[in-house]
Amino acid sequence: MLYLWLKAFHIISIVCWFAGLFYLPRLFVYHAQSEDSVSKERFSLMERKLYRGIMGPAMIATLIFGGWLISLNPSGYFSQGWMHVKLTLVILLIGYHHMCGAQVKRFARGENKRSHVFYRWFNEVPVVFLLAIVILAVVKPF
């Protein structure tokens, strides 16, 4: 029963984390398009609160619950190739998360050098991660 509770909380954490990973770059698009100081300050505040208040805790919860799940059956998971690929993608996703955090700080300092078009493409990165991770976890192709 513990396993099912952990799995449920792991999935809830993933959903919250990805909600932030999808929304924060969208805020970057709008922030990069804004021209007045009131809008720029508002977007900086929204970005900071989303990153620190939702995305960070959700990422940590995802990692804790995922690690706990693995600890219940380490040899079963680590003997499967799909898990190695999934964990590699999770590590890369953590890097993307931190890239978002660095961008939040650049926007807050008024140092953004990229256009809204860049952020529209940047916004698609977590979609690719989500598709790959879910397919690996459900289909377990190898």
φ, ψ for residue 73 (rounded to 5)? -150, 60
To the question of whether residue 116 is assigned a binding role by annotation, the answer is: no
**Residue the block writes with tokens 């809830």:** 12
User: Are 30 and 43 spatial neighbours (Cβ–Cβ below 8 Å)?
Assistant: yes
What percent of the residues of the chain are helix, what percent strand, and what percent coil, each to the nearest 5? Answer: 85, 0, 15
CA dist 45 and 34 (Å) reads 14
Contact partners, residue 34, CB within 8 Å, separation at least 6: 40, 43
CA dist 142 and 132 (Å) reads 13
Joined tokens for residue 91: 């590590």
To the question of whether residue 7 is assigned a binding role by annotation, the answer is: no
Per the annotation, binding residues are 10, 86
Per the annotation, binding residues for heme are 10, 86
